[in-house]
Amino acid sequence: MSEQIFHDSESDLVHRAKWFSSRVLIYGILIVWTIVCLFPIYWTITTSFKMAPDVMRGHMIPWVDYQPAWLGWRSLGLSPETILAESTVREQFLQRFFNSLVTSLSASSLAVLLGSLAAYGLSRFSFKFGFMRNQDISFFFLSQLILPPVVLALPFLVLYRELDLLDTRLGLILLYTLTVLPIVIWIMRDQFAGIPTELEEAALVDGLSVWRAFATIIMPIALPGMVAAFILSLVLTWNEYFFAALLTSTHANTLPVMVASQTGSQGISWWSMAALSFAAILPLIVIGIVLERFVIKGMAAGAVK
Amino acid sequence: MWGSFALLLAVAGLQALAAGDAIPLTFENWRPTLYAYVLWGTCLCAGQVLVRGEQGKRVLFVLPATLFVVSMVVFPLLFGLIIAFSNWNLSSPDGRQFNGWDNVVQMWNDPFYWNALTNMVWYTLAIVVEYAIAFGLALLLNSEIRARKFFRVAFLLPLMLSPVAVSWMIGKSMLEIRFGPISRFLRELGVENVSFFGNPELARLTIMIMDAWTFIPFMMIMILAGLQAVPREVQEAAKVDGASGWRGFWEVTFPLMLPVSITAILIRIIFKLKLADIIINVTAGGPGGATDSVTSFIFREYRDRSNVGYGTMLAMVYLVLIVIAMTALLKLTDRWMRPRY
């Protein structure tokens, strides 16, 4: 046994203890918050596999507390034994799912297309539409953010009725594009401002036209930003409920509308509601986990100037 | 270009006449005018290039978006102004009837609308608490921890979920009085049978918490991005200068974060003002309108009475209030955000 030569001095020990306790505190808070964030999702997944008595008794852990059953998924026609059989509920569900997919994808694409063109134009050239300069035009676009959707909702209801766009996907797509356009412009303006102008100047000297230069040189550089904007608008449009509830009735319903309409009618069949909610949020959870980087990038774009 | 514009005018005029029964033509709907408008828009864009050459090509970047926004925002807004001053029940056959200031008078005497507006003030004030939590979480995520990516993804997830699903997951099932996990947990703690949506204050608080749950990640991410942009040297310099943790935060980190924080809060306020989905689905404004936001109130107003005119008037007043409040806020923050050195 060798004598210990270096003793931790009294102050070092205090320091170590302090460091250790702060670590515990930090991880404690982090873990508590993680539970706060994830527990509702966990609850929904497990509930979709529960039977009525399991819900009543508040069982939580599958296989330990209760035996998972396909009850909830069977009512959607998505459980293993019903997946091949005919099911009207599944037809309905798939139609809504498809509606959601089509509207959110096309609205996001349209918004990214229009938005990035406008953002590029505004960040590079100077315009004059009457009294409006670049600054004013940018403000005009961004001010749409403040506009609450209610203000437009009822006029659109009437207009769409006249235009025969009520309960159509096209109508929803146009409206969704409008709601996410300012966000896209905001993100993309930031992106383009970060790209040095020398790049296109060189391209222009080489004889490319403005549009060719944009398509071949700027687009590839700005692509990550465009993806970020696209994903952010995808999330927003997928989740949109208000307009969808007002403007659609049978054909163009999106998933949130379906979820909401089920809440009232069958509040007791927890399992099927849980299955439905989970099916509605699953794509977003996947996006959130796989493409988290882009989502964060998109949201951070406005923050750091 | 002018040709297509003439076509637009011609089609629109024709339809207007047909709608007024002036000529014996009947249309199913106003679609032809829409098509003519799209055609005109395209021709206008193409015309810019042909007429103005290189400059026109540049205009082409901004023009489509401008046309789109003008047709989708400015036009409906003007149209909304017209219907705001009318009594228009969509299900009745009479159609629109101009009724002047009646809607304003009705609004002035509508206690539920004012109640919804006061609720909005409360909901907006809750942002301060949300901001504090978000800032704390961002600081934690920015400190030296393991598994940062895992925590970041976990913290981000609530934002991705649709409010409707959230309102079912939390509002309807987890807060269920008899067997929801949260009620059960509270019962373990000795609180008997909390009815979360029974009394007004508690119901409002519950809605606030659910909304906060969804949107705290949003502010957190923005602040985190801001924190990561602060050069490490600044904090080291502060440490060398002898600033302890607490003082270092208030005198170095917080002032540096001020611009980002204000942006985050402003955007959060904008989102908060649209708050409706959760309320519509969980409480439908109850008990007694205690949880109503303006949006959900108008939504129900339309659902119950399908009176477009009154609803639009309410929305317009809301818009005016918002614009005034936001302008004041922007002016105020503009003064704060000016660097003071």
pLDDT digits (tens, 9 = 90+) for B14-38: 655 555 444 545 555 566 667 777 7
User: Looking at the predicted structure, is the pLDDT value of residue A132 above 60?
Assistant: yes
- Per-residue confidence (pLDDT) for residue B341, from 0 to 100: 43
Mean pLDDT of chain B: 76
Query: Which helix or strand (DSSP H or E) is residue B86 part of?
Result: strand B86-87
What integer is the mean pLDDT of B285-297?
77
Answer whether A40 sits within 8 Å of B178, measured CB to CB. no
Structure tokens at A252: 């163009």
d(CA A235, CA A291): 12
Structure tokens at B137: 């979480």
Q: How far is B299 from chain A (nearest CA, A)?
A: 8
CB A176 within 8 A of CB A104: yes
CB A157 within 8 A of CB B308: yes
Residues 162-221 of B with CB under 8 A from A: 162-170, 172-174, 178-181, 184, 213, 217-218, 221
Structure tokens at A33: 């918050």
User: Looking at the predicted structure, is the pLDDT value of residue B7 above 70?
Assistant: no
Single pTM value for the model: 0.82
Domain positions in chain A are 10-75, 88-303
Three-class DSSP category at B198: coil
User: Looking at the predicted structure, is the pLDDT value of residue A73 above 50?
Assistant: yes
User: Looking at the predicted structure, is the pLDDT value of residue A135 above 80?
Assistant: no
Homologous superfamily (CATH) of A88-303 is MetI-like (1.10.3720.10)
**Which burial class, exposed, middle or buried, applies to B145 when counting CB atoms under 10 A from its CB (0-12, 13-18, 19+)?**
middle
Pick the closest to residue A157 from B104, B298, B116, B282 (CA basis). B298
Residue among A34, A144, A242 whose CB faces B154 most closely:
A34
Write out the residue limits of the CATH 1.10.3720.10 domain(s) in chain B.
111-337
CATH topology of domain B111-337: MetI-like fold (1.10.3720)
Q: Where are the alpha helices (DSSP H) in chain A?
A: 10-47, 52-56, 71-75, 88-124, 134-142, 149-163, 169-193, 198-205, 210-213, 219-239, 242-247, 255-265, 270-290, 292-303
d(CA B137, CA B167): 24
Could you read off the pLDDT of A212-242 as tens digits, one per residue? 788 888 888 888 888 888 888 888 888 888 8
Residues 49-68 of B with CB under 8 A from A: 54, 57-62, 64-66, 68
CB B173 within 8 A of CB A270: yes
Structure tokens at B65: 């978006």
User: Looking at the predicted structure, is the pLDDT value of residue A146 above 60?
Assistant: yes
Cis peptide before B287 (omega within 30 of 0): yes
> B25 or B125, which is more confident?
B125
User: Looking at the predicted structure, is the pLDDT value of residue A278 above 60?
Assistant: yes
Mean pLDDT of chain A: 78
Beta-bridge partner residues of A66: A62
